[in-house]
Structure 1
Amino acid sequence: MEGETVELIRAQLRRLRQNAGLSQEDFGKLVHFSGSQVSALELGQRAVDRHFLKRADEVLNTGGLLISLLKMAERDRQPSWFRPWLDAERQAQQIRCYQPTLVPGLLQTENYARAMIRTDDMISDGEVEKRLAVRMDRQSILVGPDHPKYVAVIEEAVLRRADEGFRGIMTEQITHLIECAERPHIHIHIVPTSVSLHVGLVGPFALARGGDGGWVGHLEHQLGGEVLDKDEDVAILLSRWESVRSEALSRRQSIELMKEVMLSWS
């Protein structure tokens, strides 16, 4: 992880430690690192990591400053096309998401998300954990005081894609979906397999409505994604949303179907 924000993290860490009257050795003992490891972190010879910064925030009583800066650094590492969507998510009053093949990222459990990220065999274990941390952090918008209304439409086939080795992760994931669906601001609707064809099967998409009432769209594909804000593009996605939503079950019927899927495994 490179960039100005990371250098700011190192500078703030050094300043906070010195203001607390702690040597690198003494501070290291408190955060379960050696003095030489602390020195390497402050000098940029060792990568900063979430576990260390979380412990440092606790020891230095920073109110979570260092972890907040880390989240900013992780956002800076995101592809340029994705950053506008992250901003739209954070500022949204309503988010709509359709996923024909996966559980939507904002609703994924840590184990499900890790398994999905690991399907890309071109990235290292360290990068998997970094991407996982970013995805889990994104989910905080659904539990904060200014949370948006979140509506997800998912294909039933997504729930049933679970062989013997993956069934434990899927049971945990569906349990989490049911728990989310019981919250008043989260609506999850399942398109049953009895619906053979509809326009949404062309691909996943999401929509976010900001405080000004305007919508922004997001499309995913194999090489990343695309953020759309032109009126004509957004109008098409809103129309397709109405189409896929009309094919889905009600909230209560969807919860019952999710329970039924898990029951069929036992």
Structure 2
Amino acid sequence: MAQARDIDPSASPLDYYSFELRRLREEADLNQAQLGAIVFCTGSLIGMIENGRRVPTRDFSERADAALGTGGVFSRLVGLVLRSQLPTWFQAFAEMEARATHISSFQPQLVYGLLQTQEYARAVLHAGWGEKLDEAVAARLERQRILSREAPPLVWVVLDEAVLHRPFGSREIMREQLDQLLKFQDRREVRIQILPFSAGQHPATVGAFTVLRFERDPDVVYAESYGSAHVKANPETARDCAHRYDHLQATALSVEESAALIARVREERYGDHSAPDGRVVA
């Protein structure tokens, strides 16, 4: 059993979660091992979460709610906990992204975070030398929950063709990621276009940017650099970026042509091409 430490529930969302887990477990007259057996984990994991040394997952939170009869306390808290694990400079954007009604993003290097698979996200975050990798991946996947809510935002993403060819992780990870992009064809609220190499010069050579639109608030433009983010609500900047995005959409392949290109790259670059002896060949 992990040695208990004093927790200040007001210090952070994780500390509040940890404090409440211990309090409600003790109210239920369960030790850590007993609760662990009920929610299918070890007692030591319960102890680490109660001591604020391990970030809980959404799955764990739902099982803890059921085991302790909390009425969904931990399922509601875990979103705040996971968001608090995002880099400080990114948290404000994540909050705005969750409130947006329209999201328009241009990505020349990576698949947009809302569209990433778990393993692709892990490879991207690992490449960036991120700390607490498991927590960072969980926080990124938590952002994607906005796509499954009752009224999801309209998400329109333009990816440079280079994104399809730049491998993060193994061939299998990239194949799964491109499969994920193709599955979004069935989602009316998600549209993906590819800006092909043949487009040549375009008005977004400065880099990635995202425009958020809200029901009542002004549009916001987001861009980031190493270890920092730039969020601007200046109307002139928003209009300029919206105009650039319109140009990108007009230059990019159609949604249908983009899906065909994604499928072709998936097969030609990441397909399971095996020789008779089982070796993978290019």
- TM-score bracket, shorter-length normalisation: 0.7 to 0.9
SS at match of 2:248: helix
Tell me the TM-score normalized by structure 1. Answer: 0.87
Residue 58 of structure 1 is matched in structure 2 by 66
Q: Say if 2:239 is the partner of 1:235.
A: yes
Change (3 A) 1:24 1:113: closer
Residue 203 of structure 1: which of 198, 201, 207 is its match? 207
Residue 49 of structure 1 is matched in structure 2 by 56
SS at match of 1:237: helix
In structure 2, what is the Cα distance between the partners aligned to 1:45 and 1:71? 16
Query: Match for 1:75: what amino acid?
Result: R
In structure 1, what is the Cα distance between the partners aligned to 2:199 and 2:187? 27
Q: Is the 8 A contact 2:89 2:227 kept in 1?
A: no
Residue 151 of structure 2: which of 130, 139, 146 is its match? 146
In structure 1, what is the Cα distance between the partners aligned to 2:93 and 2:48? 35
In structure 2, what is the Cα distance between the partners aligned to 1:45 and 1:156? 42
Change (3 A) 1:253 1:60: same
Change (3 A) 1:52 1:91: closer
Equivalent residue runs for 1:23-38 within 5 Å? 23-31=31-39, 32-34=41-43, 38=46
In structure 2, what is the Cα distance between the partners aligned to 1:63 and 1:259? 44
In structure 1, what is the Cα distance between the partners aligned to 2:172 and 2:68? 39
Change (3 A) 1:144 1:203: same
Query: Match for 1:98: what amino acid?
Result: F
The worse-fitting range, judged by mean Cα deviation, of 244-253 and 82-91 is: 82-91
Residue 129 of structure 1: which of 127, 134, 142 is its match? 134
Query: Match for 2:17: what amino acid?
Result: I
Residue 245 of structure 1 is matched in structure 2 by 249
SS at match of 2:197: coil
Q: How far has the Cα of 1:4 moved from its partner?
A: 3.1
In structure 2, what is the Cα distance between the partners aligned to 1:72 and 1:218? 21
Change (3 A) 1:179 1:63: farther
Tell me the TM-score normalized by structure 2. Answer: 0.82
Q: How far has the Cα of 1:25 moved from its partner?
A: 4.8
In structure 2, what is the Cα distance between the partners aligned to 1:40 and 1:225? 32
Change (3 A) 1:46 1:175: closer
Query: Match for 2:67: what amino acid?
Result: V
Equivalent residue runs for 1:133-212 within 5 Å? 133-162=138-167, 166-212=170-216
Greater RCO (CA < 8 Å, at least 6 residues apart): 1
State the Cα deviation string for residues 3-28 of structure 1 (Å, max 9, x = none): 33223212321332234343445334
Query: Match for 1:158: what amino acid?
Result: V
Query: Match for 1:178: what amino acid?
Result: L
Change (3 A) 1:37 1:184: closer
RMSD value, Cα: 2.6
Q: How far has the Cα of 1:55 moved from its partner?
A: 3.7
State the Cα deviation string for residues 85-130 of structure 1 (Å, max 9, x = none): 1122111111000001111111111111100100123x44xx1111
In structure 1, what is the Cα distance between the partners aligned to 2:223 and 2:110? 14
In structure 2, what is the Cα distance between the partners aligned to 1:72 and 1:100? 30
Query: Match for 1:255: what amino acid?
Result: A
SS at match of 2:89: coil
Q: Tell me the matched-pair count.
A: 260
Query: Match for 1:207: what amino acid?
Result: V
Change (3 A) 1:108 1:41: closer
In structure 1, what is the Cα distance between the partners aligned to 2:242 and 2:188? 23
Q: How far has the Cα of 1:199 moved from its partner?
A: 1.3
Q: How far has the Cα of 1:67 moved from its partner?
A: 4.1
